[in-house]
Amino acid sequence: MPDPSTCLDRLVKISTQEGSALFIPIETHPDAGIPSQLISLDSQNDSDTKCNLQTDSNPDPTYAGCCPWAPFRSLADFEYTEIAIRSGMAKQTVDSQLRLMHTSWTKRSKITLSGYSDMINTLSSAQGICVRFQNGSLIRTYRGKSYTFEFCFRDPWEWVVSLVTYPTLAGSICWYPVCKYLHSGTHVQRLFDEPQTAEMWWNIQDTIKKTNQYPHCFLPLLVWLDKGNVTRKVKLHPMIAQASFLPNIIRNTSGNSSGVLLGYLPSVSQIVGFHDPANEAEKAEQCIFKLEVYHGILEVVFESLQKPAKIGECINCADKITRVLFPGIPYAALDGEEAWAYACIRAANANFPCPRCLVPHHELDLITGAFPLRTTASMESVFWRARAAPTATEKSNILKSVGLHDVANFFWSLPHSDPYKAISYDTLHKDDLGKFGKHIYPVLVRVIEEAGLTGKLNQNMNQVPSWSNLKHFRQITTLEYVDGKDMLHILKCIIPCIVQLLPRNSSLLRCIHSLAQIWMMIDLNCISEDHLSRLKGYIARYQRFCQLVSQEYDKLFVFPKQHDVSHIISDIREKGVTHNYSTRPGESFQQGARQAYERTNKKNVDPQMTRIDGYQEVVARIRLEVDESDRISKTDSDLNPPLIDPSSAQPDKDYSNTVGDKTLKQHLSNTSKHWTLGADVRRRWISCLDLQTTVPTTLGFKDIGERLHKFLKAFVSPNLASNADIELRQYHFLTLRYVSCVDWTLQADLLRSNPSFNGKPRYDCALLNTDSKKFEFV
């Protein structure tokens, strides 16, 4: 990694000359040959720059598609197909609608599709634009009998190549890692956000040796695997890959390029016919066989990455630059059970249950401690030493000494894909559904119930003010089913609701508060060295209060999800913020999998569900083409507006009768405004006096004229006459846009003032930083 004290000297001099005290220097990896970039944060008119701190050295490619909806015969055909595929319309519904569109519904329909078969045939002919599924199989022997596991999968390397050669994405791909810093006067500190700003990518790029004149680039991938229910009785095990070299706004949103379904892992228990094991020996035997199949299938799926990961592959990329690309899987988004399988280690009750380090089981609650890290080299060495042991007992003892199973991990053979480093901290399963949802929250509910304060807690939670994207609960102590998102919303609101219900200096309250502080810090989109220092202190406090809770409430914190907190800071340094390796985007895929399953005949569903996903990928890809074509067409029309004969132009009719109407119209036409009014009540007052006579008993409007004149003269119009009449209008909605002090991106608050919003009063509040020193509550 570069030394900040040396690589920033030149940038600091430039910034000083320009008079900037607050700026972000970005140092790109030396292999890129790109000069360092400096982004000033002092200017009030550089919001566009603040919103995009990603270095982009590649110009947007020229789009050349006359019919971006091809092979569909018309745009209308594609748009109808898009709706049908995304909504999962049945064959009978499509046939009925298309028949009526060509008969009684309309006589001028632009849709030329004749029926469901025509639509599917057109979709099938377009599947060449996306990576197709192929058939794979694996044969393994269990108790002397061979079993064949068949599955459908996409070639991950073919998918990566399709991304780097796709013109629309050319300007969005990050080819090299960067170091990002925040310089504020005399203080310089590192910033972490996207994966390319962290240390792991940089360190891997350092190991790549150039063998020719072409640029050599490491392309990191993230893999997500999780077994989930599609019905109460049926589980599926999807494999999803994400391109970590694409920005978060692309890879963590729906649509093409956000991620790809590689396939579904077949159910070993169902194919072999496993039943509940009769003893521990049989249980271990089944577990080892499942892991052998698990890693055997992963080896088949990711086989295409082996050669380019080792020696690279020359690709002519979409930006017309030829590069040697080296793929790898340095990141994995997994829950606890999946992480144990991914790392081939023993589960929660093992002597060494952590898939990332060798913490003893009895020290899982010591989250500020440091323990030896697992590495591919160290674990592989133990594995082969165990295989060479003369007796089964000695072999078992060697493996148990580090918590390994007797299964070779596929990822040992894939370069730049250390499985132990790849496993990452996941806030959904570790915090929301983990420490808080399954451990601390039940203790809180028990304490509240024993004190007879359940009704008071529910009353307090019901009085939490409304806010955008904040879920409310009326009876939180009797919730039958809550998911991770529900527990997160409860954690956001719970502290002010219990502070007067628990004893003074309650260890349980402080424990929850410390956990909320940790969550608040690791949920940031941009994290600095100062943030990490504060986070380290929060973790130490959390451990201390957990120990007090154990003493006072007989709650033990010796479990793996508690220990995982010790890896948060290193994850952020090595991989960026937690959003980069969250399981939330993957979990949202499960909902689509359930819908796809319902469209199958419930028999041999793997080829049916992968075929449905293939259709969805085609639709998403064509939608990107259509949108890009529209964007370029609009740009061309803006640059070359049509010529209008001045003699034929008609003056705009002005229906405004007041100066207020004209002023408001001018504001609404201003695209750079930071606020927008909405929910017009259509209520007007010609002056403040008129308003006071209308609502004479409302204390908030007392002396409104004098106070409003004073405010407007101070902040809006210093030349406003003291006796000027001010026309007033009533709105119930206000959007405030601002530049975030956390990551310097544009954000917006949605504020409402409504006596009846969704059936109840809603009056939002906000903290205004009026002079950068004092906050005003409004």
> Greater confidence, 470 or 252?
470
Output the CA angle 187-188-193, nearest 5 degrees.
Answer: 135
185 Rama sector, left if φ>0, alpha if ψ -120 to 50, beta otherwise = left
What mean pLDDT, rounded, does the chain reach?
86
Over residues 236-279, the pLDDT tens digits come to 999 999 999 999 888 876 554 568 999 999 999 999 999 888 78
In this prediction, residue 428 has a pLDDT band, given cuts at 50, 70 and 90, of confident
Distance of alpha carbon 341 from alpha carbon 459, whole angstroms: 44
> Greater confidence, 220 or 229?
220
pLDDT of residue 341: 96
Distance of alpha carbon 529 from alpha carbon 536, whole angstroms: 11
Distance of alpha carbon 651 from alpha carbon 653, whole angstroms: 6
Average pLDDT rounded to a whole number, residues 655-673: 54
Answer whether residue 52 shows pLDDT above 50. Answer: no
Tokens of 23: 């700026």
pTM over 0.75: yes
Answer whether residue 19 shows pLDDT above 70. Answer: no
Q: Is 637 helix (H, G, I), strand (E, B) or coil?
A: helix
Instruction: Report phi then psi at 202, rounded to 5.
Output: -60, -45
Answer whether residue 599 shows pLDDT above 70. Answer: yes
pLDDT of residue 187: 86
Can the peptide bond before residue 71 be classed as cis, meaning omega within 30 degrees of 0?
Answer: yes
Distance of alpha carbon 421 from alpha carbon 343, whole angstroms: 10
pLDDT of residue 648: 44
Answer whether residue 57 shows pLDDT above 60. Answer: no
Over residues 288-333, the pLDDT tens digits come to 999 999 999 999 999 999 999 999 999 999 999 999 999 999 999 9
pLDDT of residue 47: 43
Over residues 608-652, the pLDDT tens digits come to 999 999 999 999 989 988 988 888 887 766 655 555 444 444 444
Buried b (16+ CB within 10 A) or exposed e, 567-598: bbbbbbbbbbbbbbbbbbbbbebbebbeebbe
Answer whether residue 477 shows pLDDT above 90. Answer: no
Over residues 707-746, the pLDDT tens digits come to 888 888 877 777 777 667 788 888 889 988 888 878 888 8
pLDDT of residue 712: 81
pLDDT of residue 2: 62
pLDDT of residue 412: 98
Least confident residue range of 234-238, 318-322, 541-545, 759-763 = 759-763
Answer whether residue 524 shows pLDDT above 70. Answer: yes
Over residues 392-424, the pLDDT tens digits come to 999 999 999 999 999 999 999 999 999 999 999
User: Could you tell me how far CA 55 lies from the centroid of its own chain?
Assistant: 21
Question: In one letter, which amino acid is 139?
Answer: I
In this prediction, residue 659 has a pLDDT band, given cuts at 50, 70 and 90, of low
